[in-house]
Amino acid sequence: MEITEKVAYLKGLAEGMKLDSKKERKLLSVIIDVLEDMALELSDLKENQDELYDGLDAVSDDLEDVEDLIYGEEDDEDSEYELDDLEDGEDCYATTCPTCEEIIYFDESVLEDGMVICPNCGEHLEFDLDSLDEEDDETDEDEADEDDED
């Protein structure tokens, strides 16, 4: 039973009662009128809240469509460069985005650019190839030293 229905029931009971005092009837009538006003206000608030929820759902759906257009469909396998798109024999690299912790796959051309944008969260990831070159030089020197010892 809704609040408005309960208040209407109370109003009917009060009118059916044979109260002796005019003061008691007046007090009961005023209390029921206030309850009726409160019930109507609550009903209006509930309707407004339902409309807001519907509007919020519509905005959320629209935002999801916009995100899909900008970032593409989201799967666990999404990346700026899909593994299937790589040509045969082409090296594939992967890194984990520090912001969203998604794995990003890319080819050597992206590595040469020195940066990639995470397709999931839009974070700019930069690569320092100088440190890789230094490591490669050290590895080459170690291998040369091992060859000399043999």
* Mean pLDDT for back-to-back runs of 10 residues, the chain (150 residues): 86 83 85 91 94 93 89 55 51 82 80 79 78 58 56
* Cβ burial 106-128 (10 Å sphere, 16+ → b, else e): bbeebbeeeebebbbeeeebebe
pLDDT computed for residue 136 by the predictor = 57
Strand partners, 92: 107
Q: At CA 104, angle to CA 72 and CA 97, rounded to 5?
A: 105
Residue-level pLDDT at 81:
43
* Res 110: pLDDT: 74
pTM exceeds 0.75 for this model: no
- In what helix (H) or strand (E) does residue 95 lie, and over which residues does it extend? strand 92-96
Which residue do the tokens 């992967």 mark?
94
